[in-house]
Chains A and B, each alone.
Chain A
Amino acid sequence: MSAVMDRGAAVAAAFERYRNEPGALLCILHAIQDSLGYIPAEVVPDIAAELNLSRAEVHGVISFYHDFRTQPGGRHTVQICRAEACQAVGARELEAHAKTALGVDYHATCSDGSITLVPVYCLGNCACGPSVRIDNEVYGRVSSARFDSLMAELKAGAE
C-alpha cells in the first residue's frame, strides 16, 4: 500500500469514528498520529474542511500541544521525566546521560531511526523514579545502566 493511501485511510477512519462527537479535534489528531506516527501538513486542510474550521485554527491546535508532532519520529518514542519528584532521585543526571548515550537532544531522532527522545513532565510514577516511558510502557528507578540496557533492547528489536 502506498504511503498516500495509508494517509487517506487513516484520516478517513478518524473522521468516521468521531463524526458525531462534538469538539473532537483532539481525538481526531490523536487517532491520526496513532496510525501515521505524526500529523502530516497535508492532512490539515482535510481536517479543517471536515470540522468547518480554518487551517490556521487546526494548525494552532496542533502546535499548542506537546504531544502532536508534524514530522515523522523514530520507531520508538522514549520519554524521560524531568519533573521535580524524579529530579530528587537523579533525573537530571539521567537526562544528560540519555542525550549523550543516544547522541541526540530532545525532540530529535537517532540517526538509525530507532528512537525519538522526548521530555515529559511526570508519568505518575513519582514514588519510584527516575521514570521513563517507552511507547506505552513506563519504567521506574531507571539508572543510567538500566537506561542503556533498555535502549539496547529497543535497538536489537528493531524491525
Chain B
Amino acid sequence: MPKPVLNTTNLFIAFQYLLTRKKQSILATLGVMLGVTTFIVMVNFMTGVNDFLDDAVFNGSPDIIVGATPDGKKKKQNFGTAIHALAKVEEIDHFLENDQNVSSFAHQIISPAILISTTAQLPGSINGVFPLEERKMVDLDRRLLSGKGFKSLLQGHTILLGVSLAKRLEVVVGDEVNMLLSNGKNMKLEVSGIFSFGITTIDNVRTYVSAKTLQKLMHQENKITNIHVKLKNRDDVALKTVLSENFKAITTQDWKDSNKTIVIGNKVRDILTWSVSFALLLVAGFGIYNILNITVIQKRKDIAVLKTIGYAARDIVFIFLIQSIIIGLLGAVFGTSLGYLISYIISTTPLDTSDFIIVETYPINFKLSYYILGFLFGVITTVLAGYFPSKKASRVDPVTIIRGI
C-alpha cells in the first residue's frame, strides 16, 4: 500500500523550496493576486452597472408595450397631432389575463404636452395612469425623492415629475405647473411628488398624472393609448408576437426593442469583464508555469537525489504541485481581499453625474458568488499551470542526472 503523498515531509520540502526562492514565489503570488483582483473589481463594477441599468430602465419601463397602429396615412409625429386610441381594449385585456407569463398590466393614456412654470416652458411626456394599477407595475415609492407616490394622483389635480424636469422647471413639491395640451386645453396641476429613475432620458421628460384627468381634458373619455405589460419571465417575449398575430391594429414593443443600447452595453460589459480577467489569469498562469518549469530544470539534480533516497514519482509531483497550490491560494486570498477593498473604495467614490445616468457613487455589485468564483478561478489556474511542470519533474530519470553530476 503506497503511503499518502500529503504528509509533513513532502510539505516541508515544498515549503523549503518556496522559501529559498522568495522573490519568485512572491512574484508568482502577486501575478495571481493581480488576476483575481482585476476579475473581482471588474465583475463587481460591470455587473454593478448592468444591474443598475436593468433596475432603473426595466423597472421604470414595462416589458411589453402595446399601442395603436397609426391609422391610414402616416401622420407626422408632430406636437399637436391627436392621440391614437387603442381599439379592442377589452379583448386584449382578456387575452392578457389568460396568459401564463403576464405578471401584471396597466392602461395608460400618453400624450405630449408643454409644462409651464413661473420661470420655464418645457415639453414633457405625460403618462396618464390609473394609480392603483400602475403601482403594481412601477415601484415608484423607491424612486421618490420628495412628496408622495401614485396614490396622490387619485385627487385628480396633481402631477408627479421626473427630477431633471422639475429642476429645469424650478418647481418643488407643492408648487403649481400649468399643463398645455395639443388641443389647446390647459390645466393647473399641483406637484405632489418628484422621482428619479437615475436615467436622464426618463428623468428629463417623464411625468405622471391621473388617466381620468387627462382623458377628460382631451375629450377622450375611457380611451387609452397603451397597455403596459410586466412579464414573469422577462426573457420570454413570445407574447409580443402572439399579440400582434391576434390583434390587427396594434404595435407591440418589448424591452429589448426599447433598450437596445442598454442590452448591447450589458453584453459588451460582460464580454469585457470575462475576457480581460481571463487574459490576466492566463498571464499569471503562464508566469507560474514558467517559474515552476525553470525550477524543475534547475532542480533536476535535487529531484534525482530525492528519487534515489526513496521519494517516489508521486511524491515529486506533490512537492511541486503543492507549491503552485500554495501560490494560488495565497494569490486568491490576497486577490479577493484587495478586490473587495478596491471595489469598496470605488463604491464610495462620488460620481460626476453624466448625461446618461444619475447616481451619487459608482454602482458596485458585491455578490459573494463573484468572490467565490474569483477565488476558484485563481486556484484552478495555478493548479493547471503547476501540473505540467510537476509531471515533468516526476519523470526526471535519476540515472541520467547522476551520471552527469
> Are A and B associated in one complex?
no
A residues with a Cβ closer than 8 A to B are none
